[in-house]
């Protein structure tokens, strides 16, 4: 955890999440404008997200830890590495930032501030994909931090999300705050509210799976030392 006071850390989490969502949504709008090929649009969206996420993590890790994701904060709370007040403050900031990021993107591209997404994405395959994407993300973060290799987070986390764009059927949302924001944009990256709630449920379940796996892995490594 960074040395900044809680209010500063909360502001960092709000702005970081808002900028992350602005990158995701804005690059999606731009990608659709530049190409009618869905594959090309997805690639442009993927590259922008990976690069933007990496930059945000590098800049904000010393300030707030750069969680930028409610399930990351919940995972650290569950492991007693983040206090309840801090975790709740982080999550509120992240969710608010998710919606604010859509507003930023829509202003930049001349759209109405908020709109309800109509893109239905929730089926069995995408639900499972979000469990896989989120459990992998949380496990990676907790293992790197737990093993004293947190310096690798800005490289490994964007790499996982970038891979998830193309190996998961859900395109790896893996973040309830980002999912919430994407419910309010009826563009390339949008997700309908019903599908979004299903994705969030899968993400929370993925976090629980990761907590169990990480605990087992860390304990087994201690036993072999």
Nearby residues of 213 by Cβ (< 8 Å), 6 or more positions away: 135, 139
At residue 143, the pLDDT reads 95
At residue 216, the pLDDT reads 85
CA distances, 73 to each of 78, 100, 106 (Å): 9, 19, 27
Give tens-digit pLDDT for 67-124. 999 999 999 999 999 999 999 999 999 999 999 999 999 999 999 999 999 999 999 9
Q: How far apart are CA 102 and CA 143, in angstroms?
A: 31
Q: How far apart are CA 163 and CA 166, in angstroms?
A: 6
Work out the mean pLDDT of the chain and round it to a whole number.
95
- Residue 200 and residue 179 in contact, taking contact as beta carbons nearer than 8 Å: yes
Kindly tell me if the per-residue pLDDT of 2 is higher than 60: no
∠ CA 1-48-95, nearest 5°, is 45
Kindly tell me if the per-residue pLDDT of 1 is higher than 50: no
At residue 66, the pLDDT reads 98
pLDDT band at 3 (very low <50, low <70, confident <90, very high): low
Which CATH superfamily, name and number, covers 6-224? Glycerol uptake facilitator protein. (1.20.1080.10)
Give tens-digit pLDDT for 174-221. 999 999 999 999 999 999 999 999 999 999 999 999 999 998 887 766
CA dihedral for 32, 33, 34, 35, sign (positive or negative)? positive
């Amino acid at each position: 955890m960074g040395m900044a006071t809680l209010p500063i850390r909360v502001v960092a989490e709000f702005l970081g999440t808002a900028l992350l969502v602005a990158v995701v949504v804005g690059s999606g709008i731009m990608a659709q404008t530049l190409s009618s090929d869905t594959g090309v649009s997805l690639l442009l969206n993927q590259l922008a997200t990976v690069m933007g996420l990496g930059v945000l993590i590098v800049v904000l890790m010393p300030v707030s830890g750069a969680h930028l994701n409610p399930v990351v904060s919940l995972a650290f709370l569950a492991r007693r590495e983040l206090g309840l007040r801090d975790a709740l403050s982080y999550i509120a900031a992240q969710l608010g930032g998710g919606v604010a990021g859509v507003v930023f993107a829509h202003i930049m591209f001349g759209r109405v501030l908020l709109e309800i997404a109509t893109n239905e994405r929730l089926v069995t395959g995408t639900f499972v994909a979000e469990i896989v994407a989120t459990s992998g993300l949380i496990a990676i973060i907790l293992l790197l931090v737990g093993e004293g290799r947190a310096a690798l987070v800005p490289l490994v986390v964007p790499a996982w999300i970038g891979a998830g764009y193309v190996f998961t059927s859900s395109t790896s949302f893996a973040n309830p705050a980002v999912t919430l924001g994407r419910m309010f944009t009826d563009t390339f990256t949008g997700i309908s509210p019903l599908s979004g709630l299903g994705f969030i449920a899968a993400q929370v379940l993925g976090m629980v799976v990761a907590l169990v796996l990480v605990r087992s892995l860390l304990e087994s490594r201690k036993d072999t030392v």
